[in-house]
Amino acid sequence: MAFVTHRAVRSLSSSAVRSAAIQHITVIGGGLMGAGIAQVAASTGHSVVLVDQSEDILKKSQKGIEDSLKRIAKKKFADKPEAGSEFIEKILKNVSISTDAGSVVHSTDLVLEAIVENLQVKRDLFGGLDKFAPEHTIFASNTSSLPITDIANSTSRQDRFGGLHFFNPVPLMKLVEVIRTPMTSQKTFSALLEFSKALGKQPVSCKDTPGFLVNRLLVPYMVEAIRLHERDHGSKEDIDLAMKLGAGYPMGPFELLDYVGLDTSKFIIDGWHEKDPENPLFAPSPLLNKLVAEGKLGKKTGEGFYKYK
Ligand code: 3HC
């Protein structure tokens, strides 16, 4: 399918762009979140360069984007498969790939990072790119739980630095948390809010606090469900069913833990526990720790709280 080189994509898509300020974006990290963000940005007429460390990873990201677009096209163009193929082709043309972030950020309006949740690795990345990106370029992190301020401090553009936190699966989830630090300028914050709307998402404004809004509520809820199960107050299946049918959630907490990744959830809760050990909401869960130690990380490894084919 029609993924194109970085050079060609600039001219192909600029006329279709909807966001006035942010038109060209560089997404660093070709995992599930990065690929999802790239897909949504390309689908809304932005030109996107997706960057990761190897061609192999990027090939997998491209395949993931294409598969997701096929699922969308199948529904959207149920009676017109040809229109569906055209729809996919057009979007794929807006995405190019690169393994060299430094060489692509010179012409980008926004660098959006969705790499490993490691503060030092993120600081090294942004600190390095700060020297290559133009003055006007905004930097943003999709971190789920690290302080944006601590990442922004690695650059000399703290006023042009914020958070853009997306939710899995990115093509379907309508929310984006837009995070401002005390140093984020109003101009940057407004540009990030506008960009989120241009992606067809609904933004909410967040301060740079642990877990922002969603994860601060969602992660303790999921870990509390594990504790409930550890106390033998209910089976996983019953707790999931209870929350789906009794509270209208699309997935129960154990299904969602498997979907998000047990390692991700553990990383978030452990980080908060380290900073605030007295808070019972952040207490580690022996069962979560055991499953992660066994490599049972959820859907992505074929087993977490449940087994997957
Ligand atoms: N791309 C495109 N379309 C997709 C898709 C994807 N990745 N995933 C699902 N769909 C669409 C497809 O049309 C699919 O139909 P298909 O299977 O025939 O192609 C349709 O949705 C239905 O999907 P499913 O049958 O798999 O299941 P559901 O109806 O339950 O929908 C769901 C899936 C949207 C994921 C829904 O279960 C849901 O909303 N779950 C909750 C997700 C959630 O809470 N996410 C937030 C997690 S927290 C987070 O991300 C923050 C981080 O920092 C930790």
Pocket of ligand 1 contains residue 175 by CB under 6 Å: no
Task: State in Å: Cα 166 to ligand 1 middle.
Answer: 13
List all residues 6 or more positions away from 51 whose beta carbon is below 8 Å from its beta carbon. Answer: 26, 27, 28, 29, 30, 97, 98, 99, 100, 101, 104
| pLDDT (tens digit per residue) in 253-274 | 999 999 999 999 999 999 999 9
What pLDDT is stored for residue 240 in this prediction? 98
pLDDT above 70 (res 137): yes
What does the pLDDT look like over 22-77, one tens digit per residue? 999 999 999 999 999 999 999 999 999 999 999 999 999 999 999 999 999 999 99
Instruction: Tell me if 182 CB under 6 Å of ligand 1.
Output: no
Q: How far is the CA of 156 from the centre of ligand 1 (A)?
A: 38
Distance 172 CA to ligand 1 centre (A): 6
pTM for the complete prediction?
0.92
Using the structure block, give the residue that is written with the tokens 């984007």. 65
Going by alpha carbons, the residue nearest to atom 43 of ligand 1 is 168
User: Which residues make Cβ contacts (< 8 Å) with residue 144, sequence separation at least 6?
Assistant: 117, 165, 211, 215, 264, 268
pLDDT at 215 over 50: yes
Return the higher-pLDDT residue of 50 and 7: 50
Is the per-residue pLDDT at 88 higher than 70? yes
Structure tokens given for 33? 């979140």
pLDDT score for 219: 97
- Tokens at residue 281, please? 């909401």
Across the chain, mean pLDDT equals: 93
CA distance 225 to 242: 11
> Of ligand 1's atoms, which has the minimum distance to the CA of residue 69?
2
Percent of the chain with pLDDT over 90: 92
Which position has the higher pLDDT, 262 or 1? 262
Q: Which residue is listed with tokens 């043309």? A: 93
Helical packing angle, 253-260 and 236-247, nearest 10°: 100
Q: What residues are annotated to the active site?
A: 144, 165, 177, 215
